[in-house]
Amino acid sequence: MSQQYKIKATDGNEYGPVSTEELHQWIAQNRCTPETLVQVNESGEWVQIVTLPDFQSAFSAPTTPASTSKEDGGVSTLIPYKNSSALIAYYLGVFCIICPPILSIPALVLGIKGLRNVSENPEAKGTVHAWIGIVSGSVFLILSIAVGLWVLFNN
């Protein structure tokens, strides 16, 4: 016969007996934490579930590519691929020289959005890119307005 378990919940109530498989399901459903107290086969002894060999692996943190590699070698500083608003603002700001009236406003707006993203999520990077978009977008917008007004009043 397989082992049977009772758990003591945080509300003080006891649940079970349940099988090993069912207890694994409860863990998967977050109904049990590593600190949950468990009694094995009516032993009368309550222990934390994480101390039992059958359940230790259920509480080990899964490794993900993001958690195994925290460094990207500085690439995100040069190219803020985690902050697309700042990156697009940068390119629009650089290309404002070609078509200032059309590209300057999106450069300005996306630059501000990119700065907000950096303040909310510092690992996104892109502060300099966002500022380049804001400054060049602003300069070319003002320049476009000035040229437009000059053309309007000098004809």
Q: Are residues 85 and 54 in the same domain?
A: no
Q: Are residues 147 and 82 in the same domain?
A: yes
Q: Are residues 83 and 110 in the same domain?
A: yes
Q: Are residues 80 and 148 in the same domain?
A: yes
Phi/psi at 61 (5° precision): -70, 130
User: Which residue type does 63 have?
Assistant: T
Q: Are residues 81 and 116 in the same domain?
A: yes
Q: Are residues 42 and 11 in the same domain?
A: yes
Q: Are residues 82 and 124 in the same domain?
A: yes
Token output for 152 = 């309007």
CA distances from 87 to 57, 62, 81, 104 (A): 42, 32, 7, 14
Instruction: Please state the domain count of the chain.
Output: 2
Q: What is the DSSP string of 111-125?
A: HHHHHHHHHH-GGG-
pLDDT (tens digit per residue) in 21-77? 998 888 888 888 888 999 998 888 999 988 888 888 887 765 455 443 456 667 766
d(CA 134, CA 8): 58
Higher pLDDT, 1 or 59: 59
Predicted pLDDT at 135: 94
Task: Tell me the average pLDDT of the chain.
Answer: 85
Report yes or no on 65 lying in a domain. no
d(CA 94, CA 98): 9
Q: Are residues 88 and 46 in the same domain?
A: no
Q: Are residues 37 and 104 in the same domain?
A: no
User: Which residue type does 24 have?
Assistant: H
Report yes or no on 126 lying in a domain. yes
Query: What's the distance, Cα to Cα, between the start and end of the chain in Å?
Result: 98
Q: Are residues 91 and 41 in the same domain?
A: no
CB 88 within 8 A of CB 130: no
Report yes or no on 69 lying in a domain. no
Q: Are residues 55 and 92 in the same domain?
A: no
Q: Please give the residue range of the domain that contains residue 99.
A: 74-153
Report yes or no on 67 lying in a domain. no
% of the chain exceeding 90 in pLDDT: 34
User: Which residue type does 76 have?
Assistant: S
Q: Are residues 54 and 79 in the same domain?
A: no
d(CA 97, CA 91): 11
Predicted pLDDT at 108: 93
